[in-house]
Structure 1
């Protein structure tokens, strides 16, 4: 069948102006034009999938027929061949090597780091102080992932550089991914910032790797696991940068938005505080508590629904039949968690923050592919349990001691995801 073309296409530039100016408002509405809609990103033709069942086909059922797409090709020269960008047998090999880093016994250790880092952060807050919450959550996410990666003092310079550079890499990288290739060669400020940030991060991470190899001791961190698995310096760097990129952005955004939504919904806040008080009884949260914090988990699920990444891309390795649409080998496919998560066919009042929607029956009744905050198939984020645990533990730690009240409506800066921009909240002690 012929594939409908999305509206607002410009000569030469295609749909890139609409994507960059309207962001999710543009892509969230594409389901009105069909289950598969053609987008032109400059000269590149892409197929935007709006149907959950077809999304499941791309990510899972026929996942072996796809590889990472054009968006990721633009990152490859800078982020290498870590799990985020690698393909085929090499990807599967790297994934197997990294899986032990997320086993339960290690998660218990990470949970202690998460609780300690969250408690340290909020201990610096003052009663009545107005905090820029996205900055606090970014700092916390960097600290937690940094300590999990580099457990000793040799990693401190790397963690500091990550705090300085990682969000420049993520945000400017998305702009590059949506722009024609010639744009990244222009001497404009965004390109200079991106290139400088990548160069600084590579230099400091390679210095940490060199220091580790000098004694070769297993320090119980992720870096030790990667190097002891026999990875080269370059492979290790690629995976470290992947873990930093994937492990910081999603979690920091989710935490900031979760705190904002709780703070502006008194009944949600009351129920969160009641659960935390009942489960913890005034003591610090532990990994064993996570399973009992069921309403907190519902808040996390609803946050991941409302504020996910914008889209990902895949490239067909062979001819693929996707519903009524035949995709030739080499076709670029776009899947948008944001568009799927805000589709009112599957989520009633999709723009309303409602943790109560996440009953077991609702979750089990969702079509496959309708809720994909961490992707799916063998490309599903390996650190999804890490991220869930971090968000629950941080929310519980904050809720046990503080109320956070927004001082103004949220402002959004949309790049690879809806970033909070100047999310000001007043810290009020609960006791």
Structure 2
């Protein structure tokens, strides 16, 4: 049944105290009105899908009947027609060209890059340092994706520019995507900084691509795979910008929230340390260890459940029968991973941080569509395994050396954009 609901105050730019109100109250409560809820964002209706069953249908079973929705259209002029934003046959061609870059053998080659970058970060700390951990991990995520993309001296300049600009692009871009079109024309500082950052990033990426063209050598990096696969300069530029934006935010946030939750739950932290001591026995983590670190992976899955994206948008390409509702052609559809991951029908005590819900002896697989931290179907994030490996390797490398202790007089606050960001995350480094 479709129930019209007028939206209240949308929370994506609000601030709420962490641990007191994690849930997006409005969107997480929509399931009480049915599996499909019609809401109005301005004058146009949008169909909010609330159940795992219909989420799986939108993302997987009937995926070809949908394309990316209005929010993604607003990003396209700025970051191009990369894999996250493209549609139809072009998207399928681009995905096939990019898939070899994320093959198992290539992913194994990135493990040492991830471990070394995480070790360099951990080595830079001193006992008693109060680290702004969110900033440290944002920089780490940029370094890892950047080094996987670029392996030249000019690539180092691109990584430096990404450190300067990419988070401004992500956050200001989300504000633009969720604002009326006239807002992007306003002569305000946020717009100016966003436009300048996009221009700088596009220029440096094209410069790296042109340098590669003069040599045409497979350097073993992601950019080589894209260009050897036959992409034009413009296609490669768009895909690089997509990988930088989509490949950094989710990973950096998951890492930040992982150390936050370990700091809040000493019993979980102790089990993580015990597993690291047993599996690694003081040596650096390797690719062969990834599946031996079973409890660390449970912790990561629980973080991805607790702190996912707020929403995914789709648009119908034709009339679609979804459940008991016929959606018209061109209908905007929203799926909220956050709402799905906090639904008590799929997850017992969903507000509780409980890595053991993913343990083999206890885990009851959630229904299809209930756990979608990286999307699903043909539009599932192509770098999902890369990101999960990066998180596990970083946790293993850092937690083998350090405990990160919350600063008691500086409560963590959350700001909402496309996902839940810590407004700041101060933690004290304590040598194990």
Partner residue, 2:147 = 147
Partner residue, 1:29 = 29
Partner residue, 2:19 = none
- TM-superposed CA distance for 1:363, in Å, is 5.0
Partner residue, 1:12 = none
Counterpart-to-counterpart distance in 1, 2:152 and 2:254? 27
Alignment of 1:292-371 (within 5 A): 292-360=292-360, 363=363, 365-371=365-371
Partner residue, 2:20 = none
Alignment of 1:150-161 (within 5 A): 150-161=150-161
Q: 1:263 to 1:19 in 2, by over 3 A?
A: closer
1:426 to 425, 428, 432: 428
Alignment of 1:103-182 (within 5 A): 103-182=103-182
TM-score by length of 1: 0.95
Partner residue, 1:5 = 4
- TM-superposed CA distance for 1:105, in Å, is 1.3
- TM-superposed CA distance for 1:99, in Å, is 0.7
Partner residue, 1:414 = 416
Does residue 387 of the first structure (1) align with residue 411 of the second (2)? Answer: no
Residue pair 1:41, 1:178 contacting (<8 A) in 2 also: no
Q: Which ranges in structure 1 are unaligned for 5 or more consecutive residues?
A: 10-14
Q: 1:122 to 1:18 in 2, by over 3 A?
A: closer
Does residue 250 of the first structure (1) align with residue 234 of the second (2)? Answer: no
Partner residue, 1:193 = 193
Partner residue, 2:268 = 268
Q: Which ranges in structure 2 are unaligned for 5 or more consecutive residues?
A: 16-22
Misfit runs of 4+, over 6 Å: none
- TM-superposed CA distance for 1:286, in Å, is 0.4
CA deviations on 1:63-83 (whole Å, 9 max, x unpaired) are 000000101000011111110
Alignment of 1:221-260 (within 5 A): 221-260=221-260
Q: 1:275 to 1:404 in 2, by over 3 A?
A: same
- TM-superposed CA distance for 1:364, in Å, is 5.1
Residue pair 2:115, 2:393 contacting (<8 A) in 1 also: yes
C-alpha RMSD over aligned residues: 1.4
- TM-superposed CA distance for 1:124, in Å, is 0.4
CA deviations on 1:259-298 (whole Å, 9 max, x unpaired) are 1101111100100000000000100000110010000000
Counterpart-to-counterpart distance in 2, 1:251 and 1:305? 13
Counterpart-to-counterpart distance in 2, 1:365 and 1:250? 23
- TM-superposed CA distance for 1:362, in Å, is 5.8
Q: 1:370 to 1:213 in 2, by over 3 A?
A: same
- TM-superposed CA distance for 1:32, in Å, is 1.6
Counterpart-to-counterpart distance in 2, 1:174 and 1:29? 23
Does residue 377 of the first structure (1) align with residue 374 of the second (2)? Answer: no
Q: 1:138 to 1:303 in 2, by over 3 A?
A: same
Counterpart-to-counterpart distance in 1, 2:429 and 2:289? 25
Partner residue, 2:277 = 277
- Give SS of 1:5's match: strand
- Give SS of 1:60's match: helix
CA deviations on 1:276-323 (whole Å, 9 max, x unpaired) are 000001000001100100000000000000011110100000100111
Q: 1:86 to 1:7 in 2, by over 3 A?
A: same
Counterpart-to-counterpart distance in 2, 1:203 and 1:318? 38
